[in-house]
Amino acid sequence: MPEGPEIRLAADKLAKVLSGRVPEQLDLLLPGLERHAAKLQGKRILSVQPRSKAMLIHFDGGHWLYSHNQLYGRWYVVRAGKAPRTQRSLRVAIHMRDHSAFLYSASDIEVLNAAQLQQHPYLSKLGPDLLDPQTTRDIVRQQAQDARFARRRLSSLLLDQAFFAGLGNYLRSEILYLAALSHDATLRDLDAQAPTRLADIALDVTLQAYRCRGVTNDLERVARLKAEGYTYSQYRHHVFAREGLDCWTCGATISRVDVSGRAIFFCPDCQPSLRGR
């Protein structure tokens, strides 16, 4: 599933071709959605905004096209008259004079008014979005110190969008590694400075992943590895998807554990368990 950085990158691409313009044609093809098309036809698109792992396209007149990619959804932007090469199912098509935007395979798509937007069961429960320009470091630190989350295992907490919005599986492993924290710890297990450290690293890693297109590894190391011929998948991360390889920092073998069907990658030396594995 795309994580916050990938959704914001997709929003940036959509905004370049959609924002400030009136679509020449708008097709809502998900069954049951087509009846809402009249609310958006002929209306100027005011903005494209990511929220956590969702996308909001704001139309003049007070409506938003909400979509959540879930596992298989994907936006494409192509030149007008072209179509993406894909076997996915088309859900939304927005045609401008020069470009078209297509949403394929997503099944969670709605047209919302302002009241529905505020009450939406996904959006209304989100914690601070780490890639929202309005999210300050102090806001993120306060969230990490909130007593509501103190008893939660970090393995599940970092995937809870009510804690930090936009995190997913690869960011979870990378944040825990850089914070030198074990996935089986809870916030109340840690020293007094750890929640602040966790918050700062979560914000910094997520911002880097957005700015560097998914790269979370140390950037000086990345430059060296690229010069040595390493591929993107080989130099991209500290620990994620590197099971059986050496830790870049200490040389220990990267391990993997599955928690609730989701893989966590970690260095057993850099991230010692508080409970034993």
Q: What is the DSSP string of 187-243?
A: GGGS-TTHHHHHHHHHHHHHHHHHHTTT--S-HHHHHHHHHTT--HHHHS-SSTT-T
Q: What is the CATH number of domain 137-266?
A: 1.10.8.50
CA-to-CA separations, 261 to 35, 169, 264, in angstroms, rounded: 38, 11, 10
Q: Which architecture characterizes domain 4-125 according to CATH?
A: Alpha-Beta Barrel (3.20)
Respond yes or no: is residue 213 known to be catalytic.
no
Q: What is the pLDDT of residue 134?
A: 95
Q: What is the pLDDT of residue 2?
A: 83
What are the residue ranges spanned by the domains of the chain? 4-125, 137-266
**Strand bridging mode 255-259 / 74-79:** unpaired
Q: What is the pLDDT of residue 277?
A: 45
Respond yes or no: is residue 272 known to be catalytic.
no
Residues 6 or more apart whose Cβ sits within 8 Å of residue 254: 239, 242, 243, 244, 245, 246, 247, 265, 266, 267
Q: What is the pLDDT of residue 70?
A: 86
**DSSP-derived secondary structure letter, 259:** E
Catalytic residue among 256, 262, 268, 272: 262
pTM for the predicted model, two decimal places: 0.94
For 70-96, write each residue's pLDDT tens digit: 888 999 999 999 999 999 999 999 999
Residues 6 or more apart whose Cβ sits within 8 Å of residue 275: 182, 184, 185
Given strand 54-59, what is the order of strands in its sheet? Answer: 45-51, 54-59, 63-68, 108-113
Catalytic residue among 5, 6, 50, 53: 53
Respond yes or no: is residue 53 known to be catalytic.
yes
CB 168 within 8 A of CB 240: no
**Under-50 pLDDT residues of the chain:** 277
Respond yes or no: is residue 3 known to be catalytic.
yes
